[in-house]
Amino acid sequence: MSSRKFFGTDGVRGRVGIPPMTASVVMQLGWAVGQVFASTGNKEVLIGKDTRVSGYLFEAALEAGLASAGINSRLLGPMPTPAVAYLTSTFRAAAGIVISASHNPYFDNGIKIFSSQGRKLPDEVELQIEELMTAEMTTVDSSDLGRAYRVDDAAGRYIEFCKSTFVSGLRLDGMKIVVDAANGAGYDIAHRVFRELGAGVVSVGAEPNGLNINKECGATAPDNLRAHVLLERADLGIALDGDGDRIIMVDHRGEIVDGDEILYVLARARKEAGEMTGGVAGTLMSNLGLEHALHELDIPFERAKVGDRYVMELLQKNGWMLGGENSGHVICLDRVTTGDAIVASLQVLSVMKQTGQSLAELRSGMMLYPQVLVNVPIKEKVDFSDNDQINDAVRRAEEALGDSGRVLLRPSGTEPLVRVMVEGQVANDVENICNDVARAVGDALD
């Protein structure tokens, strides 16, 4: 199998102006995508983007590459990643492309690609595209060149879809919600969904200027949302990240509700309603409190590698519907084909309206265990799985924690670091144990 030079776990991503995020490389990527999908006979590809200033550059580059391969581009403009996935399916397009670096700062950007079913591409298709990235770029005959069309009603289509995932007959009248769109792709759509369902909405992070996406706002900076919820005395707050696939919530007391707690709320509600299909898929970073709370509910739980791609693979393997990450990716496969912040929040709001309980009450059945993460710099990436010094330190830590905690060592995929994570019931103990293990890792790999 060919090695990956361009694609990571979530598409192609990097600093704007440095390969692969240059106009020439992205144009080649558009051409390579066109070459792969032209063979299907379907010559329609959707392109959406977030609000980064570089989105204009890469939209034009993709359009040129696709046109050279004879593929038509349907331009959606600023659109959440899950919206592109949904519209790709409903348009019966060959593929959907998102120009976004998700939660990263404005000076990064990336390319994500969805299949005609609105799912992330299989490995074998990504590898076909990879192989063409170094091939000579050709151009079809002028009579066969692709064209570009603007899709004017894309936002309205997605808004109606989101509303259709909310329980029929319910409304949000009487609720006051703060929505922080991270100055990103959901800046115009998110607040409209909740308003059309009857909620009073305070909209923040909805003034993108091309440079302020994710800047001190959104799901990666929830203190902004917390402050507005308390100031407005709102019932809750909802924060998206820059491309709208992550969600973090805040209850009326100003307490942050992360992806693990959202999964717990949804799983418990489905279990009580007799609608729970299978179990819940988390990741190696999912809080031990989620695992224990689901065990109490007799709901199976399994961990995948970190990354929503791997959560999706585990869900599909097991035939389960609900999974996600504590960082805010929440996947409801019976509603959508990928992580969707707006749809996930609507599922939580449905539970609140049906039970009459606040978000604070719904989350109270799960205890988040204190979790400490230390990044240990190393000289070079090495396999430390059979290092006796490190294994002894981990064994001592696990004995000290017992059944009420765990230790995780994970090498960084992009930097010369080992991430040491420890969680347990007592915060001071967890911090001390984590520091001890991190020190042992540093000494052993120095």
- Which residues are marked as active site? 102
Which helix H or strand E contains 409, and what residues bound it?
strand 406-411
Coil, helix or strand for 61?
helix
Structural contact between residues 103 and 329, judged by C-beta atoms closer than 8 angstroms: no
CA 348 to chain centre: 17
Count CB neighbours of 189 within 10 A: 23
3-state secondary structure string, 121-189?
A: CCHHHHHHHHHHCCCCCCCCCHHHCCCEEECCCHHHHHHHHHHHCCCCCCCCCCCEEEEECCCCCCCCC
Structural contact between residues 177 and 203, judged by C-beta atoms closer than 8 angstroms: no
- Could you tell me the two tokens for 148? 């570009």
| Strands 236-240 vs 247-251: parallel, antiparallel or unpaired | antiparallel
Structural contact between residues 88 and 35, judged by C-beta atoms closer than 8 angstroms: no
CA distance 16 to 414: 17
Q: To which residue do tokens 């097991």 refer?
A: 318
CA distance 140 to 362: 57
Which helix H or strand E contains 348, and what residues bound it?
helix 341-355
